[in-house]
């Protein structure tokens, strides 16, 4: 990669992962344009960047094709993170999930194709596409089996990216994230992921809810690892691929709660409730493809990332 600043677009850049990526791209000296409709993203996540000369914020919705054409103008690299990210929310409202995650992605791909000089389109996908497959670790060659509208929407986005690469020669790469956590993740939303919910409950001395027996496990990864993977993917010569991005380590929810208690010096016990429809029991990823194609190696461990996240959340 040469040292010349790149013109990059981050969709969903006011969201959790997006805002962390924006911060890193700005630090590297790139010119960053963010689009976000602020339905799940928050302006406070990017407020420190608003006066930067190399930062531009546009409030807009990818469901509008004209908006997509406007935001891709003169852009070289696209990081597409905008989505309605919750499995549970998609179960409750599949139509909105589909419109945002599928139609929005297709509009952006069409605009990127028509812009004509996009060097890479990096799509944020999800491990949820694997469904409740018993095969572990999950690798990119095994069959997918989405069991929620959200998972299906992310898989559809992957296929659109691959089709646009094959028939329009738009360089795309899809990254499948597994349970990302870290700063700027909303602790208080009813759709928050498990780690921020646990932290919020424990800091308030409230018993967190675990759906199931707590031995269901996730391959968690700290957000800095995902940011690094996005940058590696964008500035690589890899296109047309789907790649797992995570730490390749399975951690039960009971252990996560135990670690949070340890870092906070508390002993808050959970309330167990029946497992929810659409939830996956176990996830663990094979990341050999990411290592080979992107030279990706997760630098922040689960334990170190959790400690960082906890104390950044408390400082806020």
Residues designated catalytic: 150
Return all residues near 309 (Cβ < 8 A) that are at least 6 apart.
Answer: 181, 182, 183, 185, 195, 199, 222
Residue with tokens 């996730």: 218
- In our burial notation (b when 16+ CB lie closer than 10 A, e otherwise), range 58-87 reads eebbbbebebbbebbeebbbbbbbbbbbbb
Tokens of 243: 């790649």
Q: Are 177 and 124 in contact (CB under 8 A)?
A: yes
- Taking residue 52's Cβ as centre, other Cβ atoms within 10 Å add up to 13
Report the distance separating Cα 117 and Cα 120, nearest Å.
9
| Alpha-carbon torsion angle 78, 84, 85, 88, nearest 10 | -160
């Amino acid at each position: 990669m040469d040292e010349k600043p790149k013109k990059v677009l981050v969709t969903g850049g006011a969201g959790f992962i997006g805002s962390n990526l924006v911060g890193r791209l700005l630090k590297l000296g790139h010119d960053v344009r963010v689009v976000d409709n602020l339905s799940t993203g928050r302006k406070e996540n990017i407020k420190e960047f608003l006066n930067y000369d190399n930062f531009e914020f546009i409030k807009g919705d990818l469901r509008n094709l004209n908006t997509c054409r406007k935001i891709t103008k003169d852009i070289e690299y696209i990081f597409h993170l905008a989505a309605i990210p919750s499995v549970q929310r998609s179960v409750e409202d599949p139509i909105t999930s589909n419109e945002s995650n599928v139609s929005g992605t297709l509009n952006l791909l069409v605009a990127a194709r028509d812009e004509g000089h996009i060097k890479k389109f990096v799509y944020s996908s999800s491990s949820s596409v694997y469904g409740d497959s018993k095969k572990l670790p999950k690798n990119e060659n095994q069959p997918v089996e989405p069991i929620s509208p959200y998972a299906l929407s992310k898989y559809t986005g992957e296929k659109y990216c691959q089709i646009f690469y094959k028939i329009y020669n738009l360089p795309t790469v899809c990254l499948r994230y597994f349970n990302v956590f870290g700063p700027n993740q909303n602790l208080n939303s009813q759709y928050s992921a498990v780690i921020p919910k646990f932290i919020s409950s424990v800091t308030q001395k409230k018993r967190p809810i675990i759906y199931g027996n707590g031995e269901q496990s996730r391959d968690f990864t700290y957000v800095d690892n995902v940011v690094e993977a996005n940058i590696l993917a964008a500035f690589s010569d890899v296109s047309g691929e789907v790649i797992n991005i995570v730490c390749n380590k399975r951690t039960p929810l009971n252990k996560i709660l135990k670690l949070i208690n340890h870092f906070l010096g508390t002993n808050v016990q959970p309330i167990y409730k029946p497992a929810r429809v659409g939830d996956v029991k176990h996830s663990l990823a094979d990341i050999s493809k990411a290592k080979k194609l992107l030279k990706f190696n997760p630098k922040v461990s689960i334990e170190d990332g959790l400690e960082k996240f906890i104390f950044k959340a408390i400082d806020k």
